[in-house]
Amino acid sequence: SAVISQKPSRDICQRGTSLTIQCQVDSQVTMMFWYRQQPGQSLTLIATANQGSEATYESGFVIDKFPISRPNLTFSTLTVSNMSPEDSSIYLCSVDGGGRARDTQYFGPGTRLTVL
Amino acid sequence: QKEVEQDPGPLSVPEGAIVSLNCTYSNSAFQYFMWYRQYSRKGPELLMYTYSSGNKEDGRFTAQVDKSSKYISLFIRDSQPSDSATYLCASLYQGGKLIFGQGTELSVKP
């Protein structure tokens, strides 16, 4: 399986500011995904990021709030813009397994965000 | 109704017990099913994935899917304290979207 790293691992931010989260994979992958895990809840998909095209956002998530970049096949960023305390969550990137495991997903360690 | 339902627990068992974790899903279009293990303050770790109905075994873990009843199960034999974690079931939807259950928190007591 791919090795996925995220930066930062955690951050505490002030209301109204923005934070960019980086996701790095050790191999080229077709699809990268960004999920949110709110306290005590399960994972919810924010958007799918494919290289060379605009990210596809799920219902309830918009590009102005969560802009995503996918400059190449091993890297993506998610920005949480104009943050409020309701954005306090764990943000996780995942990648498809590729090849015969393309219908699976592997997750990074997550970025724990607290907004004051 | 949530598309994937999972009892959040918590579930506490003694070491060595057989653990049964269960989920139900509502969308007949789901074909791939996964179980993830998530330790505190870590990302989800893929344990097993299955396609369609049937059983799949990997060491102490067995994943079972019954598409006729839309039921997903994970069995852990000879449970160990190191198995203490939150277990998440997930179904794969179109476009690569994973739909997760709420997760079951498992505690295995020595």
Determine whether the interchain pair A44/B45 forms a contact, defined as Cβ–Cβ distance below 8 Å: no
Determine whether the interchain pair B96/A33 forms a contact, defined as Cβ–Cβ distance below 8 Å: yes
Question: What's the confidence (pLDDT) of residue A75?
Answer: 95
Q: Which residues of chain B lie closer than 8 angstroms to A42, CB-CB?
A: 6, 88, 100-103
Question: What's the confidence (pLDDT) of residue A72?
Answer: 92
Strand B54-58 relative to strand A10-13: parallel, antiparallel, unpaired?
unpaired
In angstroms, what separates the C-alpha of A43 from chain B's closest C-alpha? 6
List, for residues B35-56, the tens digit of each pLDDT value: 999 998 899 999 998 887 889 9
Question: What's the confidence (pLDDT) of residue A112?
Answer: 96
What's the rounded Cα separation, in Å, for the pair A92 and A83?
17
The overall average pLDDT reported for chain B is: 92
pLDDT band, very low/low/confident/very high, at B71 (cuts 50, 70, 90): very high
List, for residues A30-68, the tens digit of each pLDDT value: 889 999 999 888 899 999 998 888 899 999 999 999 999
CB A78 within 8 A of CB A23: yes
Block residue for tokens 């304290």: B81
Instruction: Provide the percentage of residues in chain B whose pLDDT is more than 70.
Output: 99
pLDDT at B1 over 70: no
- Nearest CB neighbour to A42, from listed B43, B88, B96: B88
Cis status, amide bond into A85, omega within 30 of 0: no
pLDDT band, very low/low/confident/very high, at A2 (cuts 50, 70, 90): confident
Q: Is A34 on the interface with B (CB under 8 A)?
A: no
Cis status, amide bond into B10, omega within 30 of 0: yes
